[in-house]
């Protein structure tokens, strides 16, 4: 697989440090409010990366944090008159609900900054001991000029940065950071203000800087060198540049081998963001559209291409997804009807010669820096192909094989459910319901109507409605 690496500005062949295993760290949201659909882009994109790597046989350790202490959270806690921890816990829970709706799988670990303070104190101390950090009036700063490669990720020249910062001298004075030895230096630890949450440290009662948490948590849950570090492109500078400086200065080892950054979700050409006020929360959008449509829309563009959010484009995605779901439904219904036909030579030939080409082309698209846009086009081609090559007379096994290919690519890898009716039910539950339906069909055939009615009543009690149609029994949640 080739990945575009922000560090080298080239697409590079992906090679993990340990064969067969991949450690990925993705910067997560600051939890002071509901997430907006711009925040959902990295969640969906990198969840798809994880799924694709698993499809290729890798064991993936996927770590993504929640920033649960920050000025915005503290401001919110003051506004609402509740502790900061209550604000963050509430929005972590809400964010997890949104992720579940968007079929973003839970990470291997979701670390939270406030639960990892000892590791952060240790890293700050290491940086001080190695001469990369210093303390002034309870604040600890990272000494940027002590880390020679500073700027390597964002491709910025340290002297240009310095002159930019001098122009901001007034802003530094306002924030109280004019005591820094160098205007480039950034905060590792800052003292509390009156009434703010704090943790004890050798330098002051205070809290960690934002950049520090990702350096510490990625090291703890993945290791000193990450295979892939990802996030939105706004994080390249200063957040990721500072993470590199802290981690590499502390460990001496390379921090991350591949850096992936998603482009923005835009609205009328502007970045969707809280500060511009031009955002829609995931919660609100999912009231208007099926969350699967939102996920499908998000993957309709390759992740480094800006994507404009508009009603028209989301509705196009809804129509596209409908075509895929209809194609899947057709295959499923042929498979389930079990018309008693054996797989024919022609069908066998298609499975052996034609279908692998679609899988290969899908993988080629995904191998090309996760080109989900091309991968979706190939799924559309596959649907056209299965629609043209199946009908009532196709064998159940043939339709079943085609269905499973579609399921692997669309449902498992892209995370887009292909079954219309079973979207809220897990697969073991689907199997159980379908076994009961099969039993009911068999009972009816044997004229055991009492048992057939009993099964219908039992499922109805569980909120499952059965419909006898010409294509067989269909079911849905009430
Ligand atoms: P934040 O809570 O602002 O730190 O954002 C969490 C994640 O969402 C980061 O990876 C950001 O880069 C990303 N993000 C924020 N806004 C957008 C947007 N409009 N489009 C794409 N990604 C975004
Ligand atoms: Zn981060």
Binding site membership of 66 for ligand 1 (Cβ less than 6 Å) = no
Residue 478: the pLDDT is 73
Residue 101: the pLDDT is 97
Residue 173: the pLDDT is 66
Atom 17 of ligand 1: nearest residue by CA position: 38
Q: In testing the pocket of ligand 1, which one of 44, 72, 234, 260 has its CB within 8 Å of the most ligand atoms?
A: 234
Residue 170: pLDDT band with limits 50, 70, 90: low
Per-residue pLDDT at 443 exceeds 60 = yes
Share of the chain above pLDDT 90, in %: 87
Per-residue pLDDT at 161 exceeds 90 = no
Give 343-400 as a DSSP string: PPHHHHHIIIIIHHHHHHHHHHHHHBT--HHHHHHHHHHHHHHHHHH--TTS-HHHHH
Per-residue pLDDT at 107 exceeds 60 = yes
Mean pLDDT of 68-88: 95
Indicate the pairing of strand 226-232 with strand 256-262. parallel
Residue 54: the pLDDT is 98
Residue 78: the pLDDT is 94
Binding site membership of 29 for ligand 1 (Cβ less than 6 Å) = yes
Residue 305: the pLDDT is 98
Counting ligands in written order, which one lies closest to the CA of residue 41?
Answer: 1
Q: In testing the pocket of ligand 1, which one of 25, 39, 49, 110 has its CB within 8 Å of the most ligand atoms?
A: 39
Residue 328: the pLDDT is 97
Mean pLDDT of 11-26: 98
Binding site membership of 206 for ligand 1 (Cβ less than 6 Å) = no
Binding site membership of 235 for ligand 1 (Cβ less than 6 Å) = yes
Binding site membership of 415 for ligand 1 (Cβ less than 6 Å) = no
Query: What are 39's two structure tokens?
Result: 């925040």
Mean pLDDT of 463-467: 87
Mean pLDDT of 347-372: 98
Please indicate whether residue 338 or residue 369 has the higher confidence score (pLDDT): 369
Atom of ligand 1 lying closest to residue 264 CA? 20
Atom of ligand 1 lying closest to residue 279 CA? 19
CA of 407 to the centre of ligand 1 (A): 30
Atom 12 of ligand 1: nearest residue by CA position: 232
Please indicate whether residue 464 or residue 259 has the higher confidence score (pLDDT): 259
Of the segments 241-245, 270-274, 275-279, which one has the largest average pLDDT value?
A: 241-245
pLDDT digits (tens, 9 = 90+) for 180-225: 999 999 999 999 999 899 999 999 999 999 999 999 999 999 999 9
Mean pLDDT of 362-386: 98
**Residue 112 Cα distances to 24, 445, 474, angstroms:** 16, 57, 44
d(CA 341, CA 449): 28
Binding site membership of 95 for ligand 1 (Cβ less than 6 Å) = no
Binding site membership of 232 for ligand 1 (Cβ less than 6 Å) = yes
Residue 458: the pLDDT is 93
Per-residue pLDDT at 93 exceeds 80 = yes
Binding site membership of 65 for ligand 1 (Cβ less than 6 Å) = no
Please indicate whether residue 159 or residue 38 has the higher confidence score (pLDDT): 38
Query: What are 18's two structure tokens?
Result: 């340990």
Per-residue pLDDT at 79 exceeds 60 = yes
Closest CA to 296 of 415, 389, 196, 179: 415
Average pLDDT, the chain: 94
Residue 174: the pLDDT is 65
Share of the chain above pLDDT 70, in %: 96
* Helix, strand, coil percent content, the chain, rounded in steps of 5: 50, 15, 30
CA angle 428, 322, 423 (to 5 degrees): 20
Binding site membership of 39 for ligand 1 (Cβ less than 6 Å) = yes
Binding site membership of 273 for ligand 1 (Cβ less than 6 Å) = yes
Residue 463: pLDDT band with limits 50, 70, 90: confident
Please indicate whether residue 352 or residue 432 has the higher confidence score (pLDDT): 352
Binding site membership of 46 for ligand 1 (Cβ less than 6 Å) = no
Residue 9: the pLDDT is 98
Binding site membership of 308 for ligand 1 (Cβ less than 6 Å) = no
Per-residue pLDDT at 166 exceeds 90 = no
Atom of ligand 1 lying closest to residue 27 CA? 10
| pTM of the shown model | 0.87
**Residue 5 Cα distances to 14, 62, 81, 234, 357, angstroms:** 10, 18, 44, 15, 28
CA of 200 to the centre of ligand 2 (A): 23
Residue 159: the pLDDT is 87
Atom of ligand 1 lying closest to residue 233 CA? 12
Query: What are 313's two structure tokens?
Result: 């484009």
Indicate the pairing of strand 10-13 with strand 2-5. antiparallel
CA of 209 to the centre of ligand 1 (A): 18
Residue 41: the pLDDT is 98
pLDDT digits (tens, 9 = 90+) for 332-359: 999 999 888 999 999 999 999 999 999 9
- Secondary structure of residue 60 in the 3-state scheme: strand
Atom 18 of ligand 1: nearest residue by CA position: 38
Residue 424: the pLDDT is 57
Counting ligands in written order, which one lies closest to the CA of residue 270?
Answer: 1
């Amino acid at each position: 697989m080739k990945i575009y690496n922000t560090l080298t500005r080239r697409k590079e062949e992906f090679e993990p440090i340990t064969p067969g295993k991949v450690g990925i760290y993705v910067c997560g949201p600051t939890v002071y409010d509901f997430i907006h659909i711009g925040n959902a882009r990295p969640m969906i994109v990198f969840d798809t990366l994880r799924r694709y790597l698993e499809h290729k046989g890798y064991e993936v350790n996927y770590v993504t944090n929640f920033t649960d202490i920050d000025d915005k959270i503290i401001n919110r806690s003051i506004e609402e008159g509740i502790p900061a921890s209550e604000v963050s816990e509430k929005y972590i829970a809400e964010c997890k609900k949104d992720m579940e709706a968007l079929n973003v799988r839970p990470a291997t670990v979701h670390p939270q900054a406030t639960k990892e303070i000892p590791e952060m104190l240790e890293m700050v101390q290491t940086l001080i001991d190695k001469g990369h950090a210093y303390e002034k009036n309870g604040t600890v700063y990272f000494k940027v000029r002590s880390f020679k490669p500073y700027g390597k990720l964002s491709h910025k020249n340290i002297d240009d940065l310095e002159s930019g910062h001098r122009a901001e001298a007034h802003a530094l004075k306002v924030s109280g950071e004019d005591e820094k030895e160098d205007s480039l230096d950034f905060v590792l630890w800052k003292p509390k203000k009156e009434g703010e949450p704090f943790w004890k440290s050798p330098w002051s009662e205070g809290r960690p800087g934002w950049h520090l948490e990702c350096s510490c948590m990625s090291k703890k849950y993945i290791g000193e060198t990450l295979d892939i570090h990802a996030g939105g492109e706004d994080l390249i500078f200063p957040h990721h540049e500072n993470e590199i400086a802290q981690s590499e200065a502390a460990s001496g080892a390379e921090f991350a081998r591949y850096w992936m950054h998603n482009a923005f979700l835009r609205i009328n050409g502007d970045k969707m963001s809280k500060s511009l006020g031009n955002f829609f929360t995931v919660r609100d959008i999912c009231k208007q559209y099926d969350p699967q449509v939102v996920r499908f829309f998000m993957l309709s563009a390759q992740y480094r291409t800006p994507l404009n959010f508009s009603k028209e484009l989301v509705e196009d995605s809804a129509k596209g997804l409908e075509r895929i779901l209809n194609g899947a439904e057709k295959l499923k219904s042929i498979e389930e009807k079990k018309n008693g036909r054996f797989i024919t030579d022609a069908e066998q030939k298609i499975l052996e010669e034609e279908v692998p080409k679609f899988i290969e082309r899908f993988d080629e698209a995904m191998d090309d820096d996760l080109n989900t846009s091309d991968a979706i086009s190939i799924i559309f081609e596959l649907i056209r192909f299965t629609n043209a090559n199946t009908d009532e007379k196709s064998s159940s096994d043939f339709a079943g094989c085609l269905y499973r290919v579609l399921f692997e690519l669309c449902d498992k890898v892209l995370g887009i459910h292909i079954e219309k009716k079973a979207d809220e039910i897990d697969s073991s539950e689907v199997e159980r319901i379908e076994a009961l339906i099969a039993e009911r069909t068999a009972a009816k055939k044997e004229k055991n109507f009492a048992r057939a009615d009993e099964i219908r009543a039992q499922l109805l009690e569980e909120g499952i409605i059965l419909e006898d149609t010409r294509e067989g029994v269909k079911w849905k949640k009430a």
